[in-house]
Amino acid sequence: MKHILIVDDAATVRMYHRGILEAAGYQVDEAINGFEALEKALGVAYDLYLVDVNMPKMDGYALVRALRAEPSIAQVPAVMVSTESKTSDRDKAYQAGANLYLVKPTKPHVLLGHVNCLIGDDL
């Protein structure tokens, strides 16, 4: 079973994404900020990170840069999700190392389509 880490400071967003992903057969963990996520990522083998941009303590951009700097997990796909829809936000996400940038709220079929494309083989 593929394992996904949802990183978002909003409990409602984590619950929304968890429901979509678990219903599709994914195993899901959660973190409320970048620091907690990085700690979990270094101790658990995840197949994908679903990362909010705007979070306290360590934002999504800093988290993705930190994930990319860690050789053992640098290749794990990272999907950034944000309410920010400007091209500059999208560009900043890709410069940080994100594989994909989605704007919230993301429709379930859109989120699953992208996640399945990135890691969907052998659920």
Q: pLDDT in tens for each of the 123 residues of the chain?
A: 999 999 999 999 999 999 999 999 999 999 999 999 999 999 999 999 999 999 999 999 999 999 999 999 999 999 999 998 899 999 999 999 999 999 999 999 999 999 999 997 654
Cβ atoms of 82 and 71 within 8 Å: the answer is no
Q: What is the pTM of this model?
A: 0.95
Instruction: Quote the CA–CA distance of 31 and 88 in Å, as a whole number.
Output: 26
Domains and CATH numbers, the chain: 3-119 (3.40.50.2300)
Using the structure block, give the residue that is written with the tokens 């593929």: 2
